[in-house]
Amino acid sequence: MEAAVASALTKEVVLKLVTLLSQKHKLSKGLKDDIRFIRTELDMISSARDSHMGPGTGRSSSSSRVSMEEMRDLAHDIEDCIDRFMPCVACEGEAAAAAAAAGSVLHRVKKAVTTTRSRFAAEIHKLRTRLKDAHDRRLNYDLVNRSSSAGPSPATTVDTGAETDPVGIDKPKQELVDLLLHSHHPGKLSVISIVGFGGSGKTTLARAVYDCPGVVRRFPYRAWAAASEHNDAEGILTTILRQFHAADAPPQPQNSIHDFLRNTECLIVIDDINKQHWDVIKSIFPRETKVRIIVTTALQSVANACSSGDGYVYKMSILNAEHSKVLLMKKVFFRGCSPELERGSTAIVEKCDGLPLALVCVANFLLGENELTGNHCAQVCRSLGHHMENDADFTKLQQVLVNNYSSLSGYPLRTSLLYTSVFPNGRPIRKNTLIRRWLAEGYVQCQYKRSDLEVADENFRELIDRNIIRPIDASNNAKVKTCRAHGIMHEFMLHKSMCDNFITSLGDQNRSNFRHLFIQNHGSGSTLGLSQRTSPATDAAAGSEKFRARSLTIFGDAGEAASDFCRCELLRVLDLEECNDLEDDHLKDIHKLWHLKYLSLGGTISNLPKKIEKLHCLETLDLRKTKIEILPLEVIGLPHLAHLFGKFKFGKKDLRKSELEEFSQRKSKLKTLAGFVAGENPGFLQLMAHMKELKKVKIWCESTGADNKSLPHISRAVQKFAQDGMDTTGVRSLSLDFGNSLGDFLGSVQEYCYLSSLKLHGRLSQLPQFVTSLCGLTELSLSSTNLMGHDLSNLRMLRYLLYLKLVEADLQSFTIETGYFPSLRRLCLVVKMPKFPTIKDGALPYLVSLQLLCKDLVNLSGMKIEFHDCLEEVALDSMVSTKTAEMWETAAKKHPKRPKVLFLKRIDPSESDSSVKYVAADGPISDKCTVHSVQSNSTIKHSSSFKKMIVSEPSVAASELSIAANGATPPFAR
């Protein structure tokens, strides 16, 4: 992993050197030669390191690690030198236009470049000398060749083995046994895929099902094959056939094998399968067969491929707190727990985050203690990262975690994963926030003809697919909104990041050597681990301390650091959204952060400083949690601003023609404007016409009575935005909240527009005609419109709609006939009374998700899920009764696809946001338990009558330098 961090950094520096050489700088020949030498040397070292960094790489020797650390520090110094010399290299192409303004940032940058060119050349020459010396040392000690043969290679896939005394698998085992014994497709090939993070118990569950007496009686011919023990699919098939031969099964000829598989009830388990194995194996089995197959895999895409058609995907849950403690009792606390030891066991449960393999490894480690105390358990938790790296009891766990990391495709993705450990363990991370931060840090590199955003989104999907990070929020339209890393993976990554000078607390005495800094506490003034309220100003050498940090993230109180973060002059990301004690005055010098690309502010900020216009490189400005109501015009004029979030009005009532022309010449790069309040002030609406790259817009229509003069401006702005989309493809999203106004002004919007997503909230007397004529509309949300069945029936013309959400008081008059919404895959219905539309047999043939969100839902409420052959999930309000929940569970079991039954908990809308929002819940909570807040340490108690394996997301104990905020609870996932 040390090599991966160094490789990521050196390649990033190489790209900066390429950019520097490609710009039209007046560099001397000697300086150009030095830069080319550094670029070539770093590129060669990074490429050589990459070739020895995959799953087949042994552990590096001490001398190799020293060499990697030296190269990492050199890359740091080179990048720091470039950034201090050219704070805005990417903007040089715009010099002619931007530098004309007196006192502009670029003008000062160019002046600084001219006056410091000789010093830059001298510094680069020194760095070239250091790099050459480092290279010579590597050759002298033969580190290049030695690193390629540094010991035995671990397997690409890790066999963690099946737990001999499993805990918490009775319910999932029974579910899979029922699937095997009572198949809805007895004459067809059926594959059950068990998917989950390494060490979550996939093999244990598969073995329990395989050895179940009822399964043994039903399938006289059974075979088990571990894919990780074979180089190819032929070896797996040979192992399977050998076991059939041992049971007097088929002879060798191919025709006889096919006849045997077609007519004999067989059970085959393939543990840890990959896509290449499956592509070969599936062709062996006839379509009409009595064979049943169980596969285990860590990749969601592989599970989906194996179980396509008539198969079933079972997603592993982590153990809840109760089951985790039971496992610990069996392994290490078998003589009972004193109250003091009980407290220590709770710390272990929280740290291991429900991962069985982690619990077993910690238990084995604790067995070596002469006298075990709760205090020692807590100490082990605080140093768990160190133990995972160095103690033999954690070998299997370390192999799983390292394999998850090293198997990722390429250094940008590995670095992006490491970067997630800057967030507190257990705290939900917004997907879009994470992606925008990746982009700001330069951890996403575009290839071919794709955009950086497309590559970042693909990287995120790969991490989700590998179950390294998991979605934890309800996503109505199948899009992940929030996520988090597995607790034990987060602990491992944070430990490695700290060892590699990548991420640390601002309280670390060596903080100036790290790339990313954080402050994490509970907001009560208390901190854990090293003091995280320590400010650079409190050090004796504070005046001379230089920070190379590229990001600073604060959760809780910043303390004295709130006054000093501007001293980190190379920051690209400043995330203060969760900072509790930031004041407006703390932002007075923020304009000095010339490199800043991402800025988010929290609820204690009410005004932006005027000098924010000097943040030339700023790309994302997130003001959603602030108290800012009036946005300065200067913010809109920032040349690279692409994403602006908040809810604000414009500072000027109207714009002169000259001001509009000036803004138009700046060529706004704004892609997301979500959003602004359109009252009597048409300023934003006037500017929207000049924002050529807009993709997502959210507008609140402020009610000023029937004579609201802004409504025609809104109508024109909406039409212009939608019509501009006719020449584009991809996502174009519009959200309109009418408030107390009547939304009929949309009737003037002409037809033949393009939007991919539309959200309308507020009263309508009829459905605007332009809605049904939108080209390419795939997502539609109508909330509190008071539209009745006739108007809603007009939506049937939306042939490409994939997602439909209706939030209304009563939908009983709406009938969905056969042929309506022929492409629809997800339907979300939110009603006050249990009065849902009538869905006719044959309608919505491709529906995979049905959400019926009504706390007063009684029984099945007339819904017939058997009409929908492709249905994969049903979501209910968590306030439904236990009886209703059980009825839906029973109906789901009778469905051929056995759709998952999920539960969502409603969050009451705030005054600033009238939309209805839901988050995931463990199960129905009505009449059974007290609902704890998202940040509570308590585990939600569930009625034993509702028999489901609960996914518990306990809070995570303090890491070596920090403690994470407690996590939200994800939905139960099978």
Tens of pLDDT, residue by residue over 25-39, are: 566 777 777 777 777
Better-scored residue on pLDDT, 336 or 481: 481
Per-residue pLDDT band for 540 (boundaries 50, 70, 90) equals very low
The SS3 assignment for 760 reads strand
Confidence of residue 536 (pLDDT cuts 50, 70, 90): very low
Confidence check: pLDDT of 804 > 90: yes
Q: What is the pLDDT of residues 714-749, one digit of tens each?
A: 888 888 888 887 766 678 899 999 877 777 888 888
- How far, in Å, CA of 477 to CA of 802, rounded? 8
Backbone φ and ψ for 286, nearest 5 degrees, come out as -70, 155
Place of tokens 């598989």: 261
- Every domain of the chain with CATH number 1.10.10.10 lies at 400-499
CB-CB contact of 495 with 385 (8 Å): yes
Cα 289 → chain centroid: 40
What topology is assigned to 170-315 in CATH? Rossmann fold (3.40.50)
Q: What is residue 11's predicted lDDT score, i.e. its pLDDT?
A: 62
Would you say domain 400-499 falls under CATH 1.10.10.10? yes
Residue 438: what residue type? W
Q: 599: pLDDT confidence band, cut at 50, 70 and 90?
A: very high
State the CB neighbour count (10 A cutoff) for residue 893: 14
Using an 8 Å Cβ cutoff, are 652 and 672 in contact? Answer: no
The answer to which of 74-83, 109-118, 647-656 has the lowest mean pLDDT is 109-118
Mean pLDDT of 122-147: 74
- The more confident residue out of 556 and 450 is 556
Q: Is 571 a residue whose pLDDT tops 90?
A: yes
Q: What is the DSSP letter of 131?
A: H
User: Do 22 and 80 form a contact (C-beta atoms < 8 A)?
Assistant: no
Tens-digit pLDDT profile for residues 830-843: 998 888 999 999 99
DSSP-assigned beta bridge partners for residue 328: none
Positions of E strands within 448-566: 469-471, 482-485, 503-505, 516-520, 551-556
Read off the pLDDT band of 156 (50, 70, 90). Answer: very low
Higher-confidence residue of 525 and 90: namely: 90
Q: Which residues of 353-366 are buried (b: 16+ CB within 10 A; e: fewer)?
A: bbbbbbbbbbbbbb
Q: 165 to each of 206, 213, 362, how far by Cα in Å? A: 14, 17, 16
CA separation (Å) from 731 to 718, 728, 962?
A: 16, 9, 39
How large is the average pLDDT for residues 564-573? Answer: 86
Return the higher-pLDDT residue of 476 and 959.
476
Binned at pLDDT 50, 70 and 90, residue 941 comes out as: very low
Question: Coil, strand or helix: which one is 652?
Answer: coil
Instruction: Tell me which amino acid residue 426 is.
Output: G
**What per-residue confidence (pLDDT) applies to 725?**
72
Q: What is the pLDDT of residue 707?
A: 56
- Angle of CA points 842, 876, 856, to nearest 5°: 105
- Conformational region of residue 501, where left means phi above 0, alpha means psi within -120 to 50, and beta covers everything else: left
As a whole number, the mean pLDDT across the chain is 79
563 or 202: which leads in pLDDT: 202
Q: pLDDT-derived band of residue 40, with 50, 70 and 90 as boundaries?
A: confident
Show Cβ contacts of residue 907 under 8 Å, excluding neighbours closer than 6 positions: 917, 918, 919
Per-residue pLDDT at 803: 95
Q: Which residue has the higher pLDDT, 954 or 377?
A: 377
Helix, strand, coil percentages in the chain from 3-state DSSP, rounded to 5: 40, 15, 45
Residue of higher predicted confidence among 685 and 970: 685
pLDDT computed for residue 490 by the predictor: 93
| Whole-prediction pTM | 0.85
**Which among 296, 267, 277 is positioned nearest to 158, based on CA atoms?**
296
CATH topology of domain 507-526+545-628: 3.80.10
- Which span out of 10-14, 83-87, 780-784 was modeled with the highest average pLDDT? 780-784
How confident is residue 93, by pLDDT bands cut at 50, 70 and 90?
A: very low
Contact 964, 935 (CB under 8 A): no
Q: Whose CA is closest to 646, among 692, 685, 693, 607?
A: 607
Task: Between 155 and 685, name the one with better pLDDT.
Answer: 685
Q: What is the pLDDT of residue 172?
A: 92
The whole-number average pLDDT for the span 95-100 is 41
> What percent of the chain stands above pLDDT 90?
34
- Grouping H, G, I as helix, E, B as strand and the rest as coil, residue 50 is helix
CATH 3.40.50.300 domain span(s) along the chain? 170-315
CA proximity to 564, closest of 554, 509, 662, 607: 554
- Reading across the β-sheet that carries 482-485, which strands appear in turn? 429-430, 482-485, 469-471
pLDDT at 626: 94
774 SS3 class: coil
Structure confidence by residue, pLDDT tens digits, 638-670:
889 999 999 988 766 566 666 666 666 677 889
Local confidence band at 753 (pLDDT 50, 70, 90 cut-offs): confident
Place of tokens 């002469």: 370
Complete DSSP assignment for 161-181: ---SS--S-HHHHHHHHHHHH
CB of 783 within 8 A of CB of 802? no
